[in-house]
A and B are shown apart, each in its own frame.
Chain A
């Protein structure tokens, strides 16, 4: 079965603090993609990153970084020096190579950055 778990429902941090959003996934497939999306209050899904199952290199993009560990089936997302504009709901998702396959979304983590 395919499943994505985001155990943190809501997180509040003070501006400039670092915050890590956890994501744990389950799949028996050996080839898959992992994604993070940001959903601001306006509702649209903003694509942040895609990682394929064969690439465990961590990635950094500005204040964002991702830690992919297949050994623990985790794909955690860290925001460094958080800003108020980072306040949103963040979804982790599991997808597959075949475009005919759906995404499996986690339940999301609502992040509030307090000024």
Chain B
């Protein structure tokens, strides 16, 4: 079964609204979580790395104020797309790394992604 739960799987909203995406590790403590963005027919682009209890590290070119990341606990990280516009429409995927029964096979586990559409 899934070890990382990402919610919602799909969201459609109007331009100007803020959207929050949650990423939860279900059976392990995720010391580090990653947020990726994927454009159609493109690879996954790392947006930021978040460590529990500290500020996220953003990749070059990613707007910190646009994409707010919070990693308040060892099982939850959130990505908030603030004042979303059509160009923010994309597929967002989180991954979590940490200790636990599932760690031995994969150092990271991926959520199923969130398809965000801004009208």
Question: Residues of A at under 8 Å CB distance from B?
Answer: 33, 35, 37, 43-45, 47, 50, 89, 91, 95-100, 102-103, 105-108, 110
Majority secondary structure, A binding face: loop
B89 within 8 A of partner (CB): no
Contact A33 B107 (CB under 8 A): yes
Contact B113 A44 (CB under 8 A): yes
Question: Residues of B at under 8 Å CB distance from A?
Answer: 31-32, 34, 41-44, 46, 49, 51, 91, 93, 95, 97-98, 103, 105-108, 110, 112-113, 115
Nearest-CB distance from A80 to chain B (Å)? 24
Q: Which A residues are CB-close (under 8 A) to B95?
A: 103
| Interface pairs (29), CB distance under 8 Å | A33-B107, A35-B106, A37-B110, A43-B93, A43-B112, A44-B110, A44-B112, A44-B113, A47-B106, A47-B110, A50-B106, A89-B41, A95-B108, A96-B107, A98-B107, A99-B31, A99-B32, A99-B98, A99-B103, A99-B107, A99-B108, A100-B31, A102-B34, A102-B46, A102-B49, A103-B46, A103-B108, A105-B43, A108-B42
* 4 additional A-B residue pairs with CB within 8 Å, beyond A35-B106, A45-B110, A99-B31: A45-B113, A103-B44, A105-B44, A107-B42
Majority secondary structure, B binding face: strand
Contact B115 A43 (CB under 8 A): yes
Contact B34 A91 (CB under 8 A): no
State whether A43 and B107 are in contact (beta carbons under 8 Å apart), knowing that A100-B97, A102-B46, A106-B43 are contacts in the complex: no
In Å, the complex CA distance between A43 and B94 comes to 12
Give the nearest-CB partner of A99 in chain B. B97
In Å, the complex CA distance between A106 and B97 comes to 20
Nearest-CB distance from B114 to chain A (Å)? 9
Give the nearest-CB partner of B114 in chain A. A43
Q: Which A residues are CB-close (under 8 A) to B42?
A: 107-108
In Å, the complex CA distance between A5 and B112 comes to 24
In Å, the complex CA distance between A107 and B42 comes to 6
Q: Which B residues are CB-close (under 8 A) to A110?
A: 41
